[in-house]
Amino acid sequence: MHGKLFHEAVISAPANKVWDIYSTPKLGHLINQSLTSFLNVELLNGDGGEGSAVMIKFQSGAAPLVERVTKIDNENRIKVAELIEGCFLEIGFQLYRLSYEIIEKEANISIVKTTIEYEIEEQFISNVVFLTTKPFEAFATVVDLYLTEKSHVIFPEN
């Protein structure tokens, strides 16, 4: 079975500034500094672009997951990553694909459209209840606060 979940968040900043965070390892860095009680993001290889692998560790003790960035489209401001290890793949999902699209609404207003696309084996269909956009809603809130309140996050040099 195939399915999709969507979430849209409004960010009070220009789309190019929002994209600068979502399209680079800056997103993981912000998450690590702002959501430390929830999760930790670690770049395993690459520079954050296509082909890079990222490990996400949950503070709850849940098994970590690894995703690979499969697409960075700077023109359309779309980033796509697929789960390649752990988490949902262990409970019957054959595909878990996450995409972020940064949409310019107005000069200083952007929309972050998050889409989770999944494929799951029929016998595991009850596990769809574990899918949620809540973490991605929190990520958007962190980015919005960073961009609007000019928080003093220092990004490491690449």
Number of domains in the chain: 1
In-domain check, residue 45:
yes
Domain that holds residue 109: 2-149
Cα distance between residue 33 and residue 95, in whole Å: 29
pLDDT (0 to 100) of residue 36: 81
Q: Tens-digit pLDDT profile for the chain (158 aa)? A: 999 999 999 999 999 999 999 999 999 999 998 888 888 899 999 999 999 999 999 888 778 899 999 999 999 999 999 999 998 999 999 999 999 999 999 999 999 999 999 999 999 999 999 999 998 999 999 999 999 886 555 555 55
Secondary structure letter of residue 1 according to DSSP: -
In-domain check, residue 155:
no
pTM metric for this prediction: 0.89
Tokens found for residue 133: 């956009």
In-domain check, residue 158:
no
In-domain check, residue 11:
yes
Q: Which of 79, 113, 134, 150 is catalytic?
A: 79
In-domain check, residue 79:
yes
pLDDT (0 to 100) of residue 119: 97
Annotation marks residue 79 as catalytic: yes
In-domain check, residue 154:
no
Strands 53-58 and 93-106: unpaired
pLDDT (0 to 100) of residue 155: 54
In-domain check, residue 38:
yes
**CATH label of the domain that carries residue 131:** 3.30.530.20
Cα distance between residue 9 and residue 16, in whole Å: 16
